[in-house]
Amino acid sequence: MNVLEELHASKVGKIKENEPLANHTTIKVGGPADIFVEPDSIDHLLKTMEIVTKHKMPWRVIGRGSNLLVSDGGIEGVVIKLGKGLDHLEVNGTEVRAGAGYSFIVLANAMARRGLSGLEFAGGIPGSVGGAVYMNAGAHGSDVSNILQKARILFPDGTVEWLSNKEMEYSYRTSVLQKKRPGIVLEAIFELREGDRESIAAEMKKHKNYRRETQPVKPCCGSVFRNPLPNHAGKLIQDANLKGFQIGGAQISELHGNFIINTGTANAKDVIRLIDHIKQTIFERSGIRMHTEVEIVQGRTD
């Protein structure tokens, strides 16, 4: 059997061929995946990886696609989406165990209703738990490193380990999974604290209002650039008079300089050209080299 036949025979979950990844990214651009799999359980994710590895197929994992820019040529091999099959949730006192496919925003809101504090910062982060843990997502002065107890990781050789907060080696928007030990987040355990529901709700509302006033609602991929501290990417882009600048269907948001929106007709090439223009402009103006926070996946040649 070939890889597709074996995946179907193993009944690992949803399986599609030539699936447009624009359907699975928040900016709504991206070419097709040869094979697209959404496993319906952790066990079936492990089986999927076993099959993919056996057939020596190229692969990559995606979550809710909020920090992802896929090339127009798409991705060769197998794309594995961590979604509904990995969206379990268990709460035991102040300890919260969530699957990688669980929405980070939904988790923050659910914990706020329970009067559990620590996830207020996550109320505006549109990705998944897996993506948030992988990249140490953060906002409003806090991030995953402040609440993670440990994360269960699947490594390419098929081994599964729990990594402690310390072993995740967190720093600004990065973890050990992006550097020394590539792996897939299966689930995470967070340690929160009891708090006052009204106070938590008020802080969440404050963050929500801030987002509404300062960030676009049109399709986008979230913050495009890392903040080159002590500077802030949005302020640098604004000071360079780039807000509103457009290439093709991709436009720098009028509300926040560190967001690129899809006006409706953008493709990945438009977005990448706009990112390159921002980098060049900021460097020429201030000598600062900008580095993307969004992950750019260059698959097939466009």
Catalytic residue positions, numbered:
173, 223, 293
The two structure tokens encoding residue 277:
């223009």
Integer angstrom CA distances of residue 48 from 15, 144, 178: 11, 28, 22
